[in-house]
Amino acid sequence: MATDHDLLVARICLRAILPVVKVLLEDDPKTARKFFNTHAIVQFIANDEKGPVGAYLQFIEGGVEVVQEIAEHPDLTFRFSSIAKMNAMFAGKPVLPSIRGWTRLGLLWNMLGLLMGLKLLMPNRKPRTNEEARLKVKMTLYMATTALSQLNKAGYPEMAKWTSKQPERIYQWSVDGDDIACYLKVKAGNTKAGRGLYTRRQPFVHTRFRSVQDALLLLSNQIDTVEAMRQGLVAVEGSPEYGGQISDFMLQIAKMVT
């Protein structure tokens, strides 16, 4: 039976990691071409004594939606014998699920490539090109902000306590000279992750990376925030105390999913 920790990590995997496949389809031309004419449902499901846990990708005309349900008639299914093994796969570990849907070999081959693309999220995966570096930064920030919200929605005690005491506040991340931007909205115990620059109010904390390469150094833990700020690689505008606290939660998430 899955532990509470396993279930929490699975929530982050399915609701924060899996959705960043949208970035690959939208920003990576090679990946986009492979799925341009794809109409299919791809299921990820893990067995558990309390009942299966899963989500599916629905591909339609080059786009994809992530549905947090178990599909009735998927075209391709990746089934795991336990929730812990599904989590391990999303963490980049070598896990072999059972696969149903071998008749669609093209879809299977493309999905394996898409899952390999998610490995860009791994801290030790070094981008080979500037395009991959940008993808890694964008995917990591999108994943992290969504995971922060999911951590709160799951009732993670430390996060729930932290958000419960706050009025409406915006925690913003952006990269100078690029359109990479995302935010976390916090209000009285509720959270919502969003994309782009929040324009309705000034951010309570705004973490601004000087460039994609500078963001990569921090997000890959090649340099700590204090040293990065000293070198001018990142600027944290607003409350340094709360900026440090949300960074601590991001580190906790990174440990959970790697």
How far is Cα 234 from Cα 256, in angstroms, rounded to an integer?
25
Q: What's the pLDDT at 33?
A: 93
Q: How confident is the model at residue 102 (pLDDT cuts 50, 70, 90)?
A: confident
CA 165 to chain centre: 26
| Cβ neighbours for 199, distance < 8 A, ≥ 6 positions apart | none
> Tokens at residue 245, please?
């606290």
End-to-end CA distance of the chain: 21
Backbone angles phi, psi at 103, to 5 degrees: -65, -20
Q: How confident is the model at residue 258 (pLDDT cuts 50, 70, 90)?
A: confident
Helix (H) / strand (E) containing 116: helix 105-118
Read off the pLDDT of residues 68-91 as tens digits, 9 standing for 90 and up. Answer: 999 999 999 999 999 999 999 999
Read off the pLDDT of residues 145-185 as tens digits, 9 standing for 90 and up. Answer: 999 999 999 999 999 999 999 999 999 999 999 999 999 99
Four-way CATH pick for 4-121: 3.30.1050.10, 1.10.15.40, 3.40.630.30, 1.10.940.10 = 3.30.1050.10
How far is Cα 44 from Cα 62, in angstroms, rounded to an integer?
20
Fold of 130-256: Nonspecific Lipid-transfer Protein; Chain A (3.30.1050)
How far is Cα 163 from Cα 158, in angstroms, rounded to an integer?
9
How far is Cα 174 from Cα 237, in angstroms, rounded to an integer?
11
Read off the pLDDT of residues 221-230 as tens digits, 9 standing for 90 and up. Answer: 888 888 888 8
62: number of Cβ within 10 Å: 14
> Tokens at residue 5, please?
């920790």
Read off the pLDDT of residues 122-149 as tens digits, 9 standing for 90 and up. Answer: 888 899 999 999 999 999 999 999 999 9
All structural domains of the chain with their residue ranges? 4-121, 130-256
Is the four-CA dihedral 119, 120, 122, 128 of positive or negative sign? positive
Query: In CATH terms, are 4-121 and 130-256 the same topology?
Result: yes
Q: What's the pLDDT at 226?
A: 83
